[in-house]
């Protein structure tokens, strides 16, 4: 499953991600030492033994906005800021290292096994006997059963962000005792390991048992959690959330006392770091990079990750871009290499666009499936579609080819939009740039389809196949993350094949067929992968650019 981010800057990296850093074009192409635009097998978190870390302290981080829904499984809770708050507090089935190798998260599960593939796929989860929710309720197989039902899509009253493969589950049964769940699949599911891991959180049945609880039970405040930290306070007036120790936590005691998240405007985040008001921030321009490097007590940490910027077209019936051939023609007129060069020059050694929706450069499975930049072909295709030049802007049946590009009001996004605007003007397409505040960006604009072109970031996890149906599958009754409302029976069939394939190599081949089809339907265009430059305090340990690894929140802290 993937979560949304309306900003190109995040205060802390999520599972397996870095930051989309972007800056201005310049002749100075120097980049941070060792920088690359591919996922690596290392991270940069200042690793230290817990014996070197002092007890106590408050890690201060920035948010773009408070959650609209603390249930990260819902469509309105599926964003990067909410995920950042949930990670120290919620269970996950697997941990990942810097190379994305998986291991069972034994704080919550003593064993997770694929116990059968034929005649049906069966996965058995054995829950840690000590594991309890923060209200004291034991974590049991019923929590797994309840979440599987809520996420299945069977009951459309549950406003889910994605099915995450639970639409393929036939049943969840009690195992040898209440601490074991046996999941039987009606159809094979390739990314079964990601159902309670990555960006799909594991919630208690008190949140997932009914549509009312699922959709509205965590609108103002979070429900029961089960991490080393718990939400201690939420101050909506001040825009602040404080996490403290979970008194019911059974694992290693955290070194930090608290983690404080403060809502800060994008432009205020680096100054807040300089003024010793927060402890880490993603770097969003080359000028910010230089500022951070010259600030006493601040170091730069980086490890590329799998957050990526993109634009999505609105192909809903009645929209100006409802014709797939029109979307493809416009796609060919957009110079994504120019965007990569302009926004990442000086931040990576060799800026390149991302040419795959599903896999990141450097990740197994990545291949170039993109439509090449070809404005001459774009102009001809627009002519053939009946969109004829009338002055500087094309028209058809009395309608001008004028489209609205909606994005968060951030310099990086505007810079990208301006390049696209110039590209499209060359072929007679007028692009109007509309900037929006972060609050309500998705709920009021993107989700209901109030755009012609939308710009935001997707934040992924090590389970890319779980996102195929979420973003590129199309069901008019359940759009999930397909906010452009674009798809086809052919694409749905390819997605079904990929998601059903338990052979990893065959699944990769099928996923790339899906990706090529996504390009051919003019669904969306990936732009750039995140370089992952993060400025942090030099005495902060086990935190920074996590790369493909998950954090151990009990080990993050300040050096003695």
**Which residue has better confidence, 131 or 364?**
131
pLDDT band at 38 (very low <50, low <70, confident <90, very high): low
CATH of domain 80-217: 3.90.76.10
User: How is residue 471 annotated by DSSP?
Assistant: I
**Which residue has better confidence, 28 or 445?**
445
On the CB side of 327, how many CA atoms lie within 13 Å of its CA? 26
User: How is residue 197 annotated by DSSP?
Assistant: S
CATH of domain 53-64+228-303+533-559: 3.40.190.10
pLDDT at position 31 is: 59
Q: Is the pLDDT of residue 15 over 80?
A: no
Q: Give SS3 for 128.
A: coil
Q: How far apart are CA 136 and CA 230, in angstroms?
A: 13
pLDDT at position 40 is: 56
On the CB side of 209, how many CA atoms lie within 13 Å of its CA? 6
What pLDDT, in 10s, does the model give residues 18-37? 222 222 223 333 555 545 54
User: How is residue 547 annotated by DSSP?
Assistant: T
Q: Is the pLDDT of residue 262 over 80?
A: yes
CATH of 307-529, one of 3.90.1170.50, 3.40.50.970, 3.10.105.10, 3.40.640.10: 3.10.105.10
**Which residue has better confidence, 540 or 347?**
540
Mean pLDDT value across residues 208-229: 96
Contact between residue 397 and residue 75 where contact means Cβ atoms under 8 Å apart: no
pLDDT band at 9 (very low <50, low <70, confident <90, very high): low
pLDDT band at 13 (very low <50, low <70, confident <90, very high): very low
pLDDT at position 29 is: 36
Give one word for 397, left, alpha or beta, with left for phi > 0 and alpha for psi -120 to 50: left
pTM of the model: 0.84
Contact partners, residue 491, CB within 8 Å, separation at least 6: 472, 473, 474, 514, 517, 518, 521
- How many angstroms separate the Cα of 200 from the Cα of each of 14, 73, 80, 161, 435? 12, 7, 12, 10, 30
Q: Which of 514, 436, 504 is nearest to 473 (CA)?
A: 514
**Which residue has better confidence, 28 or 259?**
259
Least confident of 201-215, 266-280, 450-464: 450-464
Q: Is the dihedral of CA 222, 224, 228, 233 positive or negative?
A: positive
pLDDT band at 170 (very low <50, low <70, confident <90, very high): very high
Mean pLDDT value across residues 127-148: 98
**Which residue has better confidence, 475 or 555?**
555
Mean pLDDT value across residues 134-153: 97
What ranges do the domains of the chain cover?
53-64+228-303+533-559, 80-217, 307-529
pLDDT at position 57 is: 97
């Amino acid at each position: 499953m993937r979560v949304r981010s309306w900003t190109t800057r995040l205060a802390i990296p999520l599972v397996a991600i870095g930051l989309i850093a972007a800056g201005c074009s310049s002749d100075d192409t120097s980049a941070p030492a060792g920088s690359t635009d591919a996922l690596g097998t290392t991270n940069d978190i200042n690793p230290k033994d817990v014996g070197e870390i002092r007890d106590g302290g408050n890690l201060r981080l920035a948010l773009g906005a408070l959650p609209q829904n603390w249930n990260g499984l819902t469509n309105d809770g599926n964003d990067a800021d909410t995920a950042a708050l949930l990670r120290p507090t919620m269970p996950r089935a697997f941990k990942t290292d810097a190379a994305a190798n998986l291991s069972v998260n034994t704080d919550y599960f003593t064993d997770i096994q694929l116990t059968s593939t034929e005649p049906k796929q069966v996965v058995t989860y054995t829950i840690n006997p000590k594991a309890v929710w923060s209200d004291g309720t034991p974590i049991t197989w019923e929590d797994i059963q309840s979440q599987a039902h809520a996420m299945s899509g069977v009951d459309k009253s549950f406003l889910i962000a994605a099915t995450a493969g639970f639409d393929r589950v036939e049943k969840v049964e009690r195992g040898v005792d209440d601490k074991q769940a046996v999941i039987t699949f009606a159809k094979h599911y390739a990314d079964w390991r990601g159902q309670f891991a990555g960006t799909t959180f594991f919630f208690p049945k008190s949140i997932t048992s009914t549509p009312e609880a699922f959709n509205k039970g965590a609108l103002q405040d979070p429900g029961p959690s089960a991490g080393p930290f718990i939400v201690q306070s939420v101050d909506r007036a001040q825009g602040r959330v404080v996490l403290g120790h979970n008194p019911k936590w059974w694992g290693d005691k955290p070194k930090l006392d608290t983690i404080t998240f403060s809502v800060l405007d994008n432009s205020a985040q680096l100054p807040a770091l300089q003024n010793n008001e927060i402890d880490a921030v993603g770097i969003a321009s080359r000028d910010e990079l230089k500022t951070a490097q010259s600030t006493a007590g601040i170091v730069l940490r980086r490890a590329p990750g799998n957050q990526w910027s993109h634009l999505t077209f609105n192909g809903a019936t009645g929209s100006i871009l409802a014709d797939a051939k029109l979307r493809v023609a416009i796609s060919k007129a957009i110079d994504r290499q120019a965007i990569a060069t302009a926004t990442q020059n000086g931040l990576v050694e060799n800026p390149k666009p991302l040419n795959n929706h599903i896999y990141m450069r450097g990740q197994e499975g990545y291949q170039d499936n993109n439509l090449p930049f070809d404005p001459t072909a774009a102009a001809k295709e627009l002519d053939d579609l009946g969109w004829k030049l009338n002055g500087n802007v094309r028209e058809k049946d009395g309608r001008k080819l004028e489209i609205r590009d909606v994005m968060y009001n951030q310099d990086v996004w505007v810079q990208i939009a301006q390049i696209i605007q110039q590209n499209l003007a060359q072929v007679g397409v007028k692009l109007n740039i509309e900037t929006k505040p972060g609050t309500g960006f998705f709920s009021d604009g993107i989700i209901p389809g109030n755009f012609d072109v939308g710009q935001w970031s997707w934040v992924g996890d090590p389970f890319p196949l779980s996102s195929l149906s979420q973003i590129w599958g199309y069901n008019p009754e359940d759009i999930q993350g397909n906010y452009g409302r674009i798809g086809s029976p052919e694409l749905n069939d390819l997605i079904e094949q990929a998601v059903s394939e338990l052979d990893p190599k065959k699944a990769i081949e099928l996923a790339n067929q899906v990706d090529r089809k996504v390009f051919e339907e003019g669904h969306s265009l990936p732009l750039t992968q995140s370089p992952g430059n993060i400025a942090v305090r030099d005495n902060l340990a086990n935190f920074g650019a996590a790369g493909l690894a998950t954090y151990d929140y009990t080990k993050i802290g300040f050096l003695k």
